């Protein structure tokens, strides 16, 4: 009994140490937002000599004619529709693959899963060429349209696996009550898919919010820059970089993700841990 207790204590200590190591970079970034350049590069102490919010105020003003209010608005205009379109289209496609039989279903599903193994860098040039001919460059359409057409196979596959865990008897009962396929999907399956849908939405929100490469390729105007590009322009502004301002804006940019995760942690964990109904 005593041995089990000691093992549990050791396990808790290890978990706490690992947790501290994982959270430390975030804590350091928060503390660095209150430091000067000399403190950041000339001292190893975690706490600053004094706490002042000047770096947040000056950092929010930006380095050009646009401030971070514009960048945050651009970010949400980019991220929120992309996330909603991805979740909606992925749910519809997953419903079709998991509940219906049609010619070529296995082949199409195999092609869909095969695209997961295709590196995004391989298709970046064909995509850029296509979007250029369509006149979509320097707009958010390169993000909106693929999301609306369910081009992310990862979320489709994840939702297919979730729907397969939902008993078909629920669909059959709905059909007996006079529901069609669309109404069965909206009234029966969608409420049960809430954890998986939230997980897919959180992943897509996170990936699009942090996406630097695609934003850099498709968006050219500074007035349309999201947060990921705005932080990079602050580094390119001049030789005397105020790292405290960059760190403060990095802290502010991380806050929406942290808040979103903690608000939806319950559904996120359920969506990852389960694949349908239990007992």
Phi, psi torsion values for 165, nearest 5 degrees = -85, -5
Confidence of residue 237 (pLDDT cuts 50, 70, 90): low
> Domain tally for the chain?
1
Residue 109 lies in domain: 67-224+255-273
Alpha carbons 205 and 261: distance in angstroms, whole number: 11
In which region does residue 238 sit, left (phi positive, over 0), alpha (psi from -120 to 50) or beta (all else)? beta
* Domain assignment present for 51: no
* Domain assignment present for 41: no
68 alpha-carbon distance from chain centroid: 20
Which pLDDT tens digit goes with each residue over 36-75? 888 888 777 888 888 888 888 888 887 778 889 999 999 9
* Domain assignment present for 242: no
86-95, 167-176, 194-203, range with greatest mean pLDDT = 86-95
Q: What is the mean pLDDT of residues 200-223?
A: 91
Q: Is the pLDDT of residue 275 over 60?
A: no
Give the DSSP per-residue string, the chain.
Answer: -HHHHHHHHHHHHHHHHHHHHHHHHHHHHHHHTTS-HHHHHH---SS-SS--SHHHHHHHH-SSS--HHHHHHHHHHHHHHHHHHHHHHHHHHHHHHHH---TTHHHHHHHHHHGGGS-HHHHHHHHHHHHHHHT-TTSSHHHHHHHHTT--HHHHHHHHHHHHTS-HHHHHHHHHTT--HHHHIIIIIHHHTHHHHHHHHHHHHHHHHH--HHHHHH---GGG--HHHHHHHHHHS-SS--HHHHHHHHHHHHHHHHHHHHHSHHHHHHHHH-SS---
Q: What is the mean pLDDT of residues 241-262?
A: 86
Q: What is the mean pLDDT of residues 189-200?
A: 88
Residue 279 confidence (pLDDT): 39
Residue 274 confidence (pLDDT): 57
* Domain assignment present for 129: yes
Q: Is the pLDDT of residue 278 over 50?
A: no
Contact assessment for residue 157 and residue 108, using Cβ atoms and an 8 Å cutoff: no
Q: Is the pLDDT of residue 9 over 60?
A: yes
Contact assessment for residue 184 and residue 122, using Cβ atoms and an 8 Å cutoff: no
Q: What is the mean pLDDT of residues 90-107?
A: 90
Residue 195 confidence (pLDDT): 85
Confidence of residue 224 (pLDDT cuts 50, 70, 90): very high
45-54, 128-137, 197-206, 249-258, range with greatest mean pLDDT = 128-137
Contact assessment for residue 90 and residue 198, using Cβ atoms and an 8 Å cutoff: no
* Domain assignment present for 55: no
* Domain assignment present for 235: no
* Domain assignment present for 44: no
CATH of the domain at 93: 1.10.3720.10
Apex 132 CA angle, 126 and 135, nearest 5: 145
Contact assessment for residue 140 and residue 76, using Cβ atoms and an 8 Å cutoff: no
- In this prediction the pTM is 0.85
* Domain assignment present for 22: no
54-68, 120-134, 160-174, 238-252, range with greatest mean pLDDT = 120-134
């Amino acid at each position: 009994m005593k041995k089990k207790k000691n093992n549990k204590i050791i396990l808790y200590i290890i978990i706490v140490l690992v947790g501290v190591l994982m959270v430390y970079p975030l804590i350091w970034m928060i503390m660095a937002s209150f430091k000067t350049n000399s403190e950041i590069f000339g001292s190893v102490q975690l706490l600053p000599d004094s706490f002042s919010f000047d770096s947040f105020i000056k950092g929010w003003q930006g380095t050009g004619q646009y401030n971070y209010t514009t960048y945050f608005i651009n970010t949400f205009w980019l991220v929120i529709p992309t996330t909603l379109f991805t979740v909606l289209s992925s749910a519809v496609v997953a419903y079709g693959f998991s509940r219906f039989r049609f010619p070529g279903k296995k082949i199409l599903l195999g092609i869909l899963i095969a695209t997961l193994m295709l590196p995004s860098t391989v298709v970046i040039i064909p995509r850029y060429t296509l979007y250029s001919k369509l006149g979509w460059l320097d707009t958010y359409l390169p993000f909106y349209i693929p999301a609306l057409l369910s081009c992310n196979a990862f979320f489709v596959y994840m939702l297919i696996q979730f729907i397969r865990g939902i008993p078909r008897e629920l669909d059959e009962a709905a059909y007996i009550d006079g529901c069609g396929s669309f109404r069965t999907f909206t009234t029966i399956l969608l409420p049960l898919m809430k954890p998986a849908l939230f997980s897919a939405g959180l992943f897509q929100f996170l990936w699009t919010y942090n996406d630097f490469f695609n934003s850099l390729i498709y968006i050219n105007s500074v007035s349309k820059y999201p947060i990921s590009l705005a932080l990079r322009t602050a580094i390119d502004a001049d030789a005397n970089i105020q790292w405290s301002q960059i760190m403060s804006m990095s802290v502010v940019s991380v806050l929406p993700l942290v808040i979103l995760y903690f608000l939806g942690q319950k559904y996120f964990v359920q969506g990852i841990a389960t694949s349908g109904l239990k007992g």
